[in-house]
Chains A and B, each alone.
Chain A
């Protein structure tokens, strides 16, 4: 029983990380039909931003080291969001009607960003020390739930809640949903689709930055940290369907739980194979993912 609960918790924890990584992708993909292959590198940028904030505190304000993480969260969000905005304005903007080409171009961006991280921070991984108040864990009936994982779960829950409120309760969010649903019609009704694209892309990138910030709690970070998670994040987007936050949430926790449970009962390698096979099987039943927006358009 306790083993099962531990596995369940691990699955939820993995799912929350998947969700964090995939949610930004899902926004940009749903909105523009563009898969941003550099999303993993935006995660890396967020992680390194956290590292830089930590170094800064260690250098200039060692007495308030405990609180550097609080500062690192907005910093990583804005650094990644700005980078994403620049990327949208300079590159992706030109490739809206060529989704496959934008996939290749953003992959080129990801290579360049990786190489730049290698040049600036060096190829070996760097360690970010988690704040002390996150050490230890909750002990329940012989099981340990580490504070770090609980913190990430809460972090993700709050972020997703804020995103949901933003998309559903504000005017800007309504514009994003309108463009996602029907770009031409939204443009006819006076929404500047270019502006919507730009800030939606910035928000999606910012979420990648937050994910990077969260990942620093789990282990050392390196230039290729993004590529490690990104393919699973794509699978989350495919499984969850595009256009609705809830689909991504279900997809992420689905993949997280299947991944950990199969890994526990078989091995890490077999878990990957089984998860992938299950996704293919699932797509036979629902080709457009768990939750998809109803639309009459053919393509």
Chain B
């Protein structure tokens, strides 16, 4: 296993050692990208393996992030009302904010809340065999609903500004480099475990059913499986990944706002996976890092071109690289192998001819 997949291990080793060779700024950028990579793994599971295209993962990411941010905000306010509530004239902490004083509840709800929403949406659509484009559009509508809700209920969510100005987590200062390195390493560990778990899942019997659902859902149904259960499970799992990613994102970036969970970020998440290769888990991770790297490069240097580039990337990937970067890598390797085989054949042919003489 180690011999065959040495590239994976090298990749994760490089991630673990990043604090030694990256500057503080670059490290926090990489930490952010790794949070995105977590979402990408989940999207690869549902899209590449099961054939469900969700345009709503920004919401699960946002919900996870807000759950964590509520805890951080309460800790930063030190027992008083969060500042934005005072500004909007709220004089008592709303009841649903209360439990978030407990870190355990905040962290577990960063997973549970997105999962519950995902289960609700997916169960009530997949149960009725609503699939394909219909599901994608419904998942996009849920983004609109949540973004308007979060902006509209300013007194509870901080409105367009979102939640920011955190100071400490569990008493450790968020601005200290050591905390940031610990958080970064925690992100790598989480990403690695999600990767290994998904890899195990996709290679198991369960994973084969997922691929079968992608290729022909009705045949799977005729064979006696219930695709709904599988689809709801895998969709909720990817929502859980996105929720965890959101929580880690808030800890490292220190800000969450409705703009980060809107339609455009949600569909960008799909692009990361498309660039990396939709049915490859490692491809999804690499796609997330590469696309976001390109994004921060372009939007720093040429902000106007970024949108054009993004649009062009969507078209190019779909038309010319349906299997993304992984597909390119595989076809190059295959061609090399074929070339070797052909060379061997040719030489053996020559040898045969020679031996006849």
Binding site for B on A (CB under 8 A): 29, 33, 35, 91, 94-95, 98-105, 107-112, 114-115, 119, 227, 231, 234-235, 237-238, 267-269, 272-273, 276, 279-280, 283-284, 287, 298-299
Contact = CB atoms under 8 A, between A and B. Distances in A.
Interface string B325-345: 000000000000000000000
A29 B47 CA distance: 21
Nearest to B306: A115
A40 to B, nearest CB: 11
Contact of B319 (A105, A114, A115): A105
Nearest to A114: B307
Prevailing SS type, chain A contact patch: helix
Given A103-B133, A108-B315, A112-B308, A231 B144 contact: yes
B141 A284 contact: no
A98 B312 CA distance: 18
B274 A104 contact: yes
24 contacts: A35-B133, A35-B136, A98-B322, A99-B132, A100-B51, A100-B132, A101-B322, A104-B271, A104-B274, A104-B314, A108-B315, A110-B311, A112-B307, A112-B308, A112-B311, A115-B307, A231-B140, A267-B152, A269-B149, A272-B149, A273-B149, A276-B142, A280-B121, A287-B130
B137 interface: yes
Interface in B33-74: 47, 51, 53
| 7 nearest A-B residue pairs (beta carbon) | A108-B314, A269-B152, A111-B311, A287-B128, A112-B311, A108-B311, A105-B318
A205 to B, nearest CB: 17
B140 A273 contact: no
Contacts of A298: 218
A107 B55 CA distance: 11
B125 interface: yes
B137 A287 contact: no
Given A100-B133, A272-B144, 6 more contacts: A108-B315, A115-B307, A119-B304, A238-B137, A269-B149, A287-B130
A57 to B, nearest CB: 31
A112 B128 contact: no
Contacts of B81: none
Contacts of B47: 100
Give the most central of B137, B142, B304, B310: most A CB within 10 Å.
B137
Contacts of A110: 311
B105 interface: no
A29 B136 CA distance: 14
Give the most central of B47, B218, B274, B308: most A CB within 10 Å.
B308
B303 to A, nearest CB: 11
Given A104-B271, A105-B315, A268-B152, A115 B128 contact: no
Contact of B318 (A104, A115, A119, A227): A104
B308 to A, nearest CB: 5
Contacts of A235: 137, 141
Nearest to A111: B311
Contacts of B136: 35, 100, 103
Given A100-B136, A115-B311, A299-B218, A276 B145 contact: yes
A269 B270 CA distance: 27
B125 A283 contact: yes
B260 interface: no
A283 B130 contact: yes
Nearest to A116: B308
